[in-house]
Structure 1
Amino acid sequence: MSNGLQQRIIGALVLGALGLIVLPIVFDFADPLKIDRQSRLPAAPEIEPIEVARAESPEGDVKLGAIDSLFNIAESKPSVDVSEGFYGLNANDLPRAWVLQAGSFEAQEKAQGLMQRLRENGFKAFVKTAVIESTTFYRVYVGPKADKRRAIAEKAEIDSNFATDAIVLQYVP
């Protein structure tokens, strides 16, 4: 054999051996549809059942009286206080609304000052004038609110933050 042919055969054998070693490392020839059946979850714990004592009725004859009436569905009525009229329509078929009178001043500057402080704290405040016995008063109001309970809750916040004693009144536009 010639020297060149011999080198070519040896080179082919070396390349084939390298291919057999390197190709399986570089490429994964495993079946892509093969499912891994090894679980990494821990085994289920051993739990023993526990006996629970049954509840027994109390000894003797117990009368609940007032509590029984709470659960009597036939006699139950909605809990609405119509005397207060928290929401709904008034006599003129207009929506009922509530305002807080936060203050009443003879000086317009004081009323404007309180109104600005209320507005800076996020309250919707406005000033209305009222003439009583030829004296003009400037009243600072907050609101209106459609629900009286919200007006009462806001009253407590305004009273504590501004050292006032606000009055909850029905809003008349």
Structure 2
Amino acid sequence: MDDNVKQRLVGAVVLASVAVIFFPSLFDEPDDRYIGGQSQIPAAPEIKPVQIAEPIRPEGIAPAPEPQAMYQLVEEPEPVTPSVATPAPEPSPEPPTPVGLNDQGVLRGWVLQVASFSDQAKAEDLQNRLIKAGHTAFIRPLVNSKGQQVVRVFVGPKAERQALVAIKAELDQSLKVNSLIREFKP
């Protein structure tokens, strides 16, 4: 086809589309829209104050004592306890880890590393299973020492390390894993 014919056809299509768009607006009657100056919001209702009767003290209830009398300490005689030989205390299996701040001044916490996955979907699946089981679970992606991207699944954090020991035993048995208790790093 000749270029002149192509240009004429394109021009005809453009003119036809412009006519289709603007032709109806030329022959439509203009809309007379009126915006009223009156508000359609009803007037504020009249609110009457409610009178509440004074409370009536039921019979048989004594009035409260004066504040000075309420807070005075009553001295009680110390009970005399006979001295009995006390057995030596049994050593605890694991001393409790002190709750407080770590070296950086951040509140110390503990987490349970349940598993590591190279697949993000598997990690999210385990996280959702742990959450449905009632645990606080989260995931963290990182690059391991071999340069591979891994996603770790954690439960916690807890303020005391001892609180995770029971959870570790439960999850190790139910998931057949060997989880690790680690210090929480936010």
Q: Where is the helix percentage greater, Structure 1 or Structure 2? A: 1
- Alignment equivalent of 1:87, drawn from 99, 105, 110: 99
The 8 Å contact of residues 86 and 149 in structure 1, kept in 2 or not, is answered as: no
Identity %: 34
Q: Distance in 2 between matches of 1:153 and 1:161?
A: 12
- Alignment equivalent of 1:144, drawn from 140, 153, 157: 157
The 8 Å contact of residues 111 and 184 in structure 2, kept in 1 or not, is answered as: yes
1:111 corresponds to 2:123: yes
1:134: Cα distance to partner? 2.2
Count the aligned residue pairs.
98
The 8 Å contact of residues 86 and 148 in structure 1, kept in 2 or not, is answered as: no
Superposition pairs of residues 8-27 of structure 1, within 5 angstroms: none
The 8 Å contact of residues 97 and 160 in structure 2, kept in 1 or not, is answered as: no
Deviations, residues 23-58 of structure 1 (Å, cap 9, x unaligned): xxxxxxxxxxxxxxxxxxxxxxxxxxxxxxxxxxxx
Q: Distance in 2 between matches of 1:93 and 1:165?
A: 31
Superposition pairs of residues 96-107 of structure 1, within 5 angstroms: 96-107=108-119
Q: Distance in 2 between matches of 1:157 and 1:167?
A: 13
Q: Distance in 2 between matches of 1:68 and 1:142?
A: 41
The alignment partner of 1:113 has SS state of helix
The alignment partner of 1:93 has SS state of coil
Larger Rg: 1
How high is the TM-score relative to the length of structure 2?
0.48
1:159 corresponds to 2:172: yes
1:154–1:167 Cα change, 3 Å: same
- Alignment equivalent of 1:70, drawn from 85, 88, 102: 88
Q: Distance in 1 between matches of 2:86 and 2:97?
A: 30
The alignment partner of 1:123 has SS state of coil
Provide structure 1 residue ranges, at least 5 long, that are not aligned to the other structure: 1-66, 72-79
Q: Distance in 1 between matches of 2:154 and 2:183?
A: 11
1:12 corresponds in structure 2 to: none
Deviations, residues 121-157 of structure 1 (Å, cap 9, x unaligned): 0001111011023210000000000010001111111
